[in-house]
């Protein structure tokens, strides 16, 4: 007898259906799984056999063939344990086959028949919720319930699922999970704690308001990391759609989904020893890397030149396109990567180049080699280059506290609101994502501003990309000032955020 059970698998942050066909015929007792299963799927036969027996049911001592269709796509992970077990029992006449058509089943089986969670539940529930209900382990049901249109049934054991299909014991649909905006936790860190560095704080405000990438350059102990670590306190709140997309990425990556994931923007700060695969994503079955896990939030790269050259160069496309395509021999996966890049570095190996307090110990060759780790194309893709000088004693010991995160965040929210209204009919909502045509329309400077920009292009030998980035930064500065027109003063401020690369890398 043949039984068919519906299941699913993830491809990036999308899902596709998997049909599990089970044929039980007379022959030598054996269980074969075909359809390009990986090792974890092949091992399912041992888990399924024990789970069925320990749940109080008879495992058929016959020849069993399990086919995972479509057979030309590799199947990965233990999530097919539950549908395989149900297919075997249905083909053996234990449970009615007609009940299987209305549900999509996934879940890993323990040897005692209990259900364990799997990766990507929210992705599957979001992609395949039309015309189907889902039967998931209880931990996954809690995650998948964020998709309000999906009908999710939660089960703890294989026996519960069998009794549900037999009509002996109903399963109650898991209630839709309510999502609320998380309060900003500013008890631990706040911009008011940062003494001095008014220029850097102004640049960070512009960067967050318009979604512009920023590079902080300065000697050790100047406050670069301290500034970066306080950026989450001024980020705009997440919308439900953004929270759902971030949750999908974390689910596919196998990261536990909790309030900090779905309610607050991510802040990822990988160590500089990270590989390019871990940064951009990859593997034989492509998984999201740090670039995608920072989607909708901040990717902080401290000690920027210490990162591997191939890892840094892999940032080129994601910073421009807002997504990363990972291609492998057998499959491709595309993950979103719309993030705010915040990088920090010293100007030289010892860190004291151009520092008035301490003489630099580096030779010219060492300085050139160190700075050459940051290529021109990467530097050109970073919108603002900010000098963070060492603080003086008077600045450190001053009694006047800096501006609080609450005040900065309020201005950023007002700026984001203006951007949202302006780009209401566009696929993007922030100035940094403006296309060239829209940049000419919305960031068109006045006559004085055009003259100033022309002079800067000639004197600083800026690239075409830098030209458009200056206009986008100026648009954000104008929005913060609640000005509709980009004035010469906005252009002048934007230009000064593009001079450090020409000063040190010329």
Q: What is the mean pLDDT of residues 207-215?
A: 96
33 neighbors 23 (Cβ within 8 angstroms)? no
Strand 63-69, strand 14-25: pairing = antiparallel
Q: What is the mean pLDDT of residues 296-325?
A: 92
401 and 448 assigned to the same domain:
no
DSSP 8-state symbol, 482: T
CATH of residue 441: 1.10.8
For residue 334, give the H/E element and its range. Answer: strand 332-336
In a domain, 176, yes or no: no
Give 85-100 pLDDT, tens digit per residue. 999 999 998 998 888 8
62 and 196 assigned to the same domain:
no
385 and 460 assigned to the same domain:
no
Single residue among 166, 199, 231 that ends a domain in this structure: 166
Q: What is the mean pLDDT of residues 64-82?
A: 91
Q: What is the mean pLDDT of residues 184-213?
A: 87
pLDDT value, residue 205: 96
78 neighbors 47 (Cβ within 8 angstroms)? yes
106 and 10 assigned to the same domain:
yes
Mean of all residue pLDDT scores within the chain: 88
The order of strands in the sheet holding 133-137 is 30-34, 63-69, 14-25, 2-11, 103-105, 133-137, 151-155
404 and 446 assigned to the same domain:
no
459 and 343 assigned to the same domain:
no
244 and 117 assigned to the same domain:
no
What angle, 0 to 180 degrees and rounded to 10, lies between the N-to-C axes of helices 464-480 and 488-496?
Answer: 120
Is the per-residue pLDDT at 506 higher than 50?
Answer: no
Single residue among 97, 131, 166 that ends a domain in this structure: 166
440 and 320 assigned to the same domain:
no
Give 105-154 pLDDT, tens digit per residue. 999 999 999 999 998 898 999 999 887 899 999 988 888 888 888 899 99
31 and 85 assigned to the same domain:
yes
368 and 228 assigned to the same domain:
yes
In a domain, 177, yes or no: no
Q: Is 456 exposed, middle or buried (0-12, 13-18, 19+ CB in 10 A)?
A: buried
CATH of residue 109: 3.30.230.10
Torsion of CA 289, 435, 386, 378, to 10 degrees: 50
315 and 404 assigned to the same domain:
yes
Q: What is the mean pLDDT of residues 485-502?
A: 84
In a domain, 414, yes or no: no
In a domain, 382, yes or no: yes
391 and 448 assigned to the same domain:
no
In a domain, 496, yes or no: yes
- Paired with 31 in beta bridges are 64
In a domain, 182, yes or no: no
Is the per-residue pLDDT at 331 higher than 80?
Answer: no
Is the per-residue pLDDT at 505 higher than 80?
Answer: no
**Helices (runs of H) and strands (runs of E) counted in the chain:** 23, 18
CATH of residue 323: 3.40.50.300
In a domain, 505, yes or no: yes
Q: What is the mean pLDDT of residues 420-437?
A: 92
227 neighbors 200 (Cβ within 8 angstroms)? yes
Quote the percentage of the chain above a pLDDT of 90. 54
Count of domains in the chain?
3
Give 223-259 pLDDT, tens digit per residue. 899 999 999 999 999 888 888 889 889 888 888 655 4
Q: Assign 65 a pLDDT band (cuts: 50, 70, 90).
A: very high
Note down the domain range covering 97: 2-166
In a domain, 273, yes or no: yes
């Amino acid at each position: 007898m043949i039984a068919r059970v519906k299941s699913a698998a993830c491809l990036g942050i999308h899902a596709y259906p998997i049909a599990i066909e089970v044929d039980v015929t007379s022959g030598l007792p054996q269980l074969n799984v075909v359809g390009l299963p990986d090792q974890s799927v092949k091992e399912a036969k041992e888990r399924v056999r024990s789970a069925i027996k320990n749940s109080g049911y008879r495992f058929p001592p016959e020849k069993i063939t399990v086919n995972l269709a479509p057979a030309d796509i590799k199947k990965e992970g233990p999530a097919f344990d539950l549908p395989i077990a149900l297919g075997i029992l249905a083909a053996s006449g234990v449970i009615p086959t007609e009940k299987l058509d209305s549900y999509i089943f996934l879940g890993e089986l323990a040897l005692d028949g209990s259900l364990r969670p799997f990766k990507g539940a929210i992705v599957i529930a979001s992609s395949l919720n039309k015309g189907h209900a889902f039967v998931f382990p209880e931990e996954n049901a809690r995650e998948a319930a964020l998709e309000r249109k999906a009908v999710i049934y939660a089960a703890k054991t294989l026996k519960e699922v069998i009794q549900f299909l037999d009509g002996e014991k109903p399963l109650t649909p898991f209630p839709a999970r309510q999502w609320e905006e998380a309060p900003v936790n500013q008890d631990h860190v706040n911009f008011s704690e940062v003494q001095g560095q008014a220029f850097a704080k102004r640049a960070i405000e512009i960067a967050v308001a318009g979604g512009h990438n920023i590079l902080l350059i300065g000697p050790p102990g100047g406050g670069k990391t301290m500034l970066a670590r306080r950026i989450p306190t001024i980020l705009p709140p997440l919308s439900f759609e953004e929270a759902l997309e971030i949750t999908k990425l974390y689910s596919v990556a196998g990261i536990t989904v909790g309030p900090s994931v779905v309610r607050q923007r991510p802040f990822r700060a990988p160590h500089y020893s990270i590989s390019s695969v871990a940064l951009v994503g990859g593997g034989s079955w492509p998984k999201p890397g740090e670039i995608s896990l920072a989607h909708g939030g901040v990717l902080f790269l401290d000690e920027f030149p210490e990162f591997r050259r191939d890892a840094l160069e892999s940032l080129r496309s994601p910073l421009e396109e807002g997504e990363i395509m990972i291609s492998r021999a057998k499959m491709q996966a595309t993950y979103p990567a719309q993030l705010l890049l915040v990088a920090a570095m010293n100007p030289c190996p010892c860190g004291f180049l151009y520092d008035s307090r301490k003489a630099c110990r580096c030779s010219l060759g060492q300085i050139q080699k160190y700075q050459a780790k940051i290529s021109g194309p990467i530097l050109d893709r970073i919108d603002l280059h900010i000098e963070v000088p060492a603080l003086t004693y008077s600045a450190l010991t001053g009694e006047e506290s800096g501006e609080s995160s609450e005040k900065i965040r309020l201005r950023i929210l007002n700026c984001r609101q203006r951007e949202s209204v302006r780009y209401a009919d566009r696929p993007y909502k922030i100035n940094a994502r403006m296309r060239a045509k829209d940049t000419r329309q919305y960031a068109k400077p006045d006559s004085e501003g055009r003259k100033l920009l022309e002079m800067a292009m000639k004197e600083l030998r800026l690239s075409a990309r830098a030209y458009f980035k200056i206009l986008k930064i100026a648009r954000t500065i104008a929005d913060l000032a609640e000005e509709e027109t980009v004035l010469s003063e906005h252009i002048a401020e934007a230009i000064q955020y593009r001079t450090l690369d020409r000063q040190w890398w010329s």
